[in-house]
Amino acid sequence: MTSIKKLLLSFSALAIFLLQSEISSAQGISFSYLVPKNGYISAPISPFSIRGVGIGGLVGLETGFTLYSIPGLSMSGLPFESDKPLTGPNWSVLIPGQATLSVGGGPITVKLLAGGFFIWHANSRINKGNLDRAISEYENWDVATSNMKMNSKPGFGWMAGTEIEYQINNKFAIAAEIQYLKGESDSALAGSYSGGTVGSEITTKQATFDTATTQLEGVEISLGVKLRGK
């Protein structure tokens, strides 16, 4: 019950801030590019990137969504490590939810953003070439080939960054945004792999990696146009 009271008080305080601010609504169409750690640079599926949807003046709330084509992301929770992406290509939906604090005046506004995100990798695939190489190094084999299936689930994470907005007129603004993201989604692997060294017999092993996760960590850069209303 104490936690519920604290949550209600937090929402009440946020509501007071919003009421004291100049309330406005905004929505934007953007091109967002993701540069993941140990992964391949990802581009949005235009025009399916709508960001900066929300309300607020000095303090506000924003959300939106971006449909990404992600060529590759790294994995964690495996008995071996790889500095190469082990999943991809994927179609991925990213939905942020952030609080904002605007600083400055005139045509240029600097906005601080912090919050979390939801990520769903649709039709997730395994990068078989990189996975086979990681397994061969783990087993000290000369060659390995895998036959694994992945069970990918939606994931969550946190994100924070800065946005610079240039107001063209009362209705339109150009925005440039850079954010850092860190999150993960459960991606259990199950199946088998085979391999060995030159001159030896081929060995086949059954494997289940229940703790495997797909990592989403890196920098997101967005450029877009915002439409404002009162």
Separation CA 154–CA 144 (nearest Å): 30
Q: What is the DSSP secondary-structure string of 98-163?
A: EEEEEE--TTEEEEEEEEEEEEEEET--B-HHHHHHHHHHHHT-SEEEEEEEEEE--EEEEEEEEE
> Each residue of 131-164: pLDDT tens digit?
999 999 999 999 999 999 999 999 999 999 999 9
- Name the pTM for this structure: 0.81
Residue 107 scores a pLDDT above 80: yes
CA distance to 24, 92, 175, per residue, from 150 (Å): 44, 15, 38
Contact present, 69 and 46 (Cβ < 8 Å): no
According to DSSP, the β-strands at 172-196 and 143-152 are: antiparallel
- The confidence score (pLDDT) of residue 230 equals 54
Q: Is 76 exposed, middle or buried (0-12, 13-18, 19+ CB in 10 A)?
A: middle
Give the model confidence (pLDDT) of 8-19 as tens digits. 444 445 444 444
**Sequence-separated (6 or more) residues with CB below 8 Å from residue 16:** none
